[in-house]
Amino acid sequence: MAKTEKSAIKDVSAADENVRRLTPASARDDSVAESQPEASQPHARARQSPAEEAATVDAPGPSRRSFPIRPVLFALLPVALVVGAYLYVTGGATMTTDNAYVQADMVGVANDVAGIVSSVAVKENQKVAVGDVLFTLDKKPFQLALDRANAQLGSTRNDLLAAQANYRNMQAQILQAQADIDYTSATFKRQQQLAANNFTPQASFDNARRDLQVAQQKLVSLQQQLAGIAASLNGAPSAAVDDYPKYKEMLAARDEAARQLDHTTVRAPIAGIATKVPSLQPGQYLAASTSAIAIVATDRLWVQASPKETELTYVRPGQKAVVEVDTYPGVQWTGTVESVSPASASSFSLLPAENTSGNWVKVVQRIPMRVRLDSAPDKPQLRMGMSVELSIETGHPRGVPVALKQLFGFGEAGA
């Protein structure tokens, strides 16, 4: 009986060994884990290798199905290429550059007369209109000069009137001298006849002849004086005083003194915003033609752009443009290409490039361009020097590349 039980136990042990050899390691571990208590299962799981855990996690279940990604990607690749080629060929009609800045008229207001500043009527960044007073100079020296010029003008007028009166008086003296010549001539003839018949002394004849010669010389002298007076009156003794050159000269001097007095008050030539005001203070001496205050116009703004020469292939004056200012993101201004410079910016430099020298290096040049901005009162205020992003609608797409045209013969039919 004991032998039979021992043989039965050996048979069961041999059967378990065969099952253990034929069963995979993972199945054996699971069966062992199920047979062991829950407290001992973590230790069994910890004994699994990382490769076995990855194989266990990544192994798809019997109900999971993989999505066919590769066939879809291969199918979408030609579509993406066609769409990209279409966008490339039909795009490129807009020329965009960020080398652009807001520009405005700026005037450096200068005084044309020298003087001492008496008052400054504006403040820094103050808005001014045309004709507003900016600053004034001391008026007293210029008022004295004007008074002196008025006095000289009146004196010149009196001198001319006196010359005209003297001319008329000289004419009367000439008439009197002619009458004296007639009288002395008649007396001389009588004395000459009497002397021929020895009826009068020789002394009387000599006196009559001397009187005639004196009257003739007096007439000649008066005629010369009359010619001199007429010359001082510009050959027109009876003309109006205002027509004489000497009077006009004094009148111009008086007007110049009045102009200088008026220009001691410096006014704004354009409307805009005053700047550089702190550099001007009362009591400061300003020489003539000194730029004291600058005014930046706010009603005449444009965009000064300098795109590359390769970007101006299809840019023409009159094309529409869109301007975006860095200061105001999302706000757009419209404009029109007003003009394109006839030369590059480097052509106006003090020392232009010598391209004929041996150390020549090709550099892409930039051509200045001016874009006029449309009036937009509802938009934020633009200021001179702001950086902008400029986009110009050229209406000319990029088209098929030249290499492809030459390869496939595009456009040769019309050649």
**What is the 3 state secondary structure string of 11-66?**
HHHHHHHHHHHHCCHHHHHHHHHHHCCHHHHHHHHHCCCHHHHHHHHHCCCCCCCC
- How far is it, in rounded angstroms, from Cα 163 to Cα 185? 32
Closest by CA position to 151, among listed 238, 257, 237: 257
Q: Give 159: exposed, middle or buried? Use CB within 10 Å, 0-12, 13-18, 19+.
A: middle
Mark 23-42 as b/e (b = at least 16 C-beta within 10 Å): eeeeeebeeebeeeeeeeee
Q: Is residue 6 predicted with pLDDT exceeding 90?
A: no
Q: Considering only CA atoms, give the Rg of the chain.
A: 56
Q: Is residue 149 predicted with pLDDT exceeding 90?
A: yes
Q: Residue 39: its pLDDT value, please?
A: 41
* DSSP-derived 3-state class of residue 158: helix
Q: Residue 355: its pLDDT value, please?
A: 73
Q: Residue 127: its pLDDT value, please?
A: 94
Q: Can you tell me the mean pLDDT for 77-91? A: 78
Same domain, 316 and 214: no
Question: Residue 264 domain-assigned?
Answer: no
- How far is it, in rounded angstroms, from Cα 393 to Cα 319? 7
Same domain, 149 and 100: no
Among the three residues 258, 282, 313, which one is the final residue of a domain in this structure?
Answer: 258
Residue pLDDT, tens place only, 205-259: 888 888 889 989 989 999 999 998 888 888 888 889 999 999 999 999 999 999 9
Same domain, 223 and 171: yes
- Which of the pair, 73 or 258, is modelled with greater confidence? 258
Same domain, 168 and 226: yes
Closest by CA position to 161, among listed 220, 64, 237, 104: 237
Same domain, 195 and 240: yes
Question: Residue 74 domain-assigned?
Answer: no
Q: Can you tell me the mean pLDDT for 78-101? A: 82
Question: Residue 392 domain-assigned?
Answer: yes
Query: Which helix H or strand E contains 71, and what residues bound it?
Result: helix 69-90
Question: Residue 76 domain-assigned?
Answer: no
- How far is it, in rounded angstroms, from Cα 191 to Cα 200? 7
Largest CA distance in the chain: 227
Ranges 15-19, 378-382, 396-400, 403-407, most confident: 378-382
Q: Residue 370: its pLDDT value, please?
A: 95
Q: Is residue 44 predicted with pLDDT exceeding 60?
A: no
Q: How confident is the model at residue 45 (pLDDT cuts 50, 70, 90)?
A: very low
Number of domains the chain is built from: 3
Same domain, 223 and 313: no
Lowest-confidence range among 66-80, 118-132, 208-222, 278-292? 66-80
Same domain, 321 and 237: no
Q: Residue 57: its pLDDT value, please?
A: 46
* DSSP-derived 3-state class of residue 295: strand
Q: Give 295: exposed, middle or buried? Use CB within 10 Å, 0-12, 13-18, 19+.
A: buried
Same domain, 159 and 248: yes
- How far is it, in rounded angstroms, from Cα 404 to Cα 394? 23
Question: Residue 181 domain-assigned?
Answer: yes
Closest by CA position to 309, among listed 281, 274, 346, 351: 346
Q: Can you tell me the mean pLDDT for 365-371? A: 93
Domain range for residue 321?
93-104+299-347+363-408
CATH of the domain at 317: 2.40.30.170
Q: Can you tell me the mean pLDDT for 100-115? A: 93
Structure tokens at 132: 């507003």
Q: Can you tell me the mean pLDDT for 154-172? A: 92
Q: Residue 74: its pLDDT value, please?
A: 82
Q: Residue 28: its pLDDT value, please?
A: 47
- Which of the pair, 352 or 110, is modelled with greater confidence? 110
Taking the model in full, what pTM does it have? Answer: 0.62
DSSP 304-371: EE--BGGG-SS--TT-EEEEEETTSTT-EEEEEEEEE-SS-GGGGSSS---TTSTT------B--EEE
Question: Residue 127 domain-assigned?
Answer: no
Closest by CA position to 245, among listed 163, 178, 173, 181: 163
Q: Is residue 137 predicted with pLDDT exceeding 80?
A: yes
Q: Is residue 413 predicted with pLDDT exceeding 50?
A: no
DSSP annotation of 115 reads E
Same domain, 241 and 316: no
* DSSP-derived 3-state class of residue 138: coil
Q: Residue 31: its pLDDT value, please?
A: 45
Same domain, 99 and 157: no
Q: Is residue 389 predicted with pLDDT exceeding 90?
A: yes
Same domain, 147 and 251: yes
Question: Residue 128 domain-assigned?
Answer: no
Whole-angstrom CA distances from 25 to 17, 31, 32, 35, 121 are 13, 10, 10, 15, 100
Whole-angstrom CA distances from 306 to 81, 356, 371 are 35, 25, 11
Q: Can you tell me the mean pLDDT for 16-37? A: 48
- Which of the pair, 319 or 52, is modelled with greater confidence? 319
Residue pLDDT, tens place only, 322-363: 999 999 999 999 999 999 999 988 888 887 777 777 777 888
Same domain, 229 and 318: no
Question: Residue 122 domain-assigned?
Answer: no
Cβ neighbours of residue 59 under 8 Å, at least 6 residues apart? none
Q: Residue 396: its pLDDT value, please?
A: 81
Other beta carbons less than 10 A from residue 187's beta carbon: 16
Residue pLDDT, tens place only, 266-325: 999 999 999 999 999 999 999 999 999 999 998 889 999 999 998 998 899 999 999 999
Structure tokens at 157: 């007028």
- How far is it, in rounded angstroms, from Cα 251 to Cα 369? 50
Please say whether the beta carbons of 298 and 271 come within 8 A.
Answer: yes
* DSSP-derived 3-state class of residue 285: strand
Q: Is residue 187 predicted with pLDDT exceeding 80?
A: yes
Sign of the alpha-carbon dihedral angle for 108, 109, 111, 117: negative
